[in-house]
Chains A and B, each alone.
Chain A
Amino acid sequence: AQKITQTQPGMFVQEKEAVTLDCTYDTSDQSYGLFWYKQPSSGEMIFLIYQGSYDEQNATEGRYSLNFQKARKSANLVISASQLGDSAMYFCAMRAGSARQLTFGSGTQLTVLP
Chain B
Amino acid sequence: NAGVTQTPKFRVLKTGQSMTLLCAQDMNHEYMYWYRQDPGMGLRLIHYSVGEGTTAKGEVPDGYNVSRLKKQNFLLGLESAAPSQTSVYFCASRQGGGPYEQYFGPGTRLTVT
Tell me which of A44, A47, A105 contacts B102 (CB under 8 A). A47
Please report the C-alpha to C-alpha distance between residue A47 and residue B58 in the assembled complex, in whole angstroms: 21
A50, CB-defined interface residue at 8 Å: yes
Contact in complex: B106, A33 (CB < 8 Å): no
The yes or no answer to B103 lying at the interface (CB within 8 A) is: yes
A residues near B, CB below 8 A? 4, 6, 9, 33, 35, 37, 43-45, 47, 50, 91, 93, 95, 100-102, 104-107
- Interface hits, B27-83 → A, CB 8 Å: 31, 33, 40-45, 48, 50, 58
* In the bound complex, CA of A89 to CA of B100 (Å): 21
Q: Are A101 and B88 in touch, CB under 8 angstroms?
A: no
Contact of B107 among A6, A9, A44, A93 (CB under 8 A): A44
Give the CA-CA distance A35 to B102 in the complex, in Å: 10
Nearest chain A CB to B84's CB is how many angstroms away? 19
Chain B nearest CB from A23 CB (Å) reads: 11
**Are A50 and B106 in contact, with the CB atoms below 8 A?**
no
Q: Is the CB of A105 within 8 A of B42?
A: yes
- A35–B103 CA distance with the chains assembled, in angstroms: 12
Q: Could you say which residues of chain A place their CB within 8 Å of the CB of B99? A: 33, 50
What are 9 A-B pairs at a CB distance below 8 A? A4-B42, A35-B101, A44-B107, A47-B102, A47-B103, A50-B99, A91-B42, A101-B45, A102-B43
Bitwise, B9-43 to A at CB < 8 A (1) or not (0) is 00000000000000000000001010000001111
User: A101 contacts B43, CB within 8 Å?
Assistant: no
> Are A43 and B106 within 8 A (Cβ)?
yes
Known interface pairs A33-B100, A44-B107, A47-B101. Does A101 touch B48 (Cβ–Cβ under 8 Å)?
Answer: yes
A101 to B90, CA, bound (A): 14
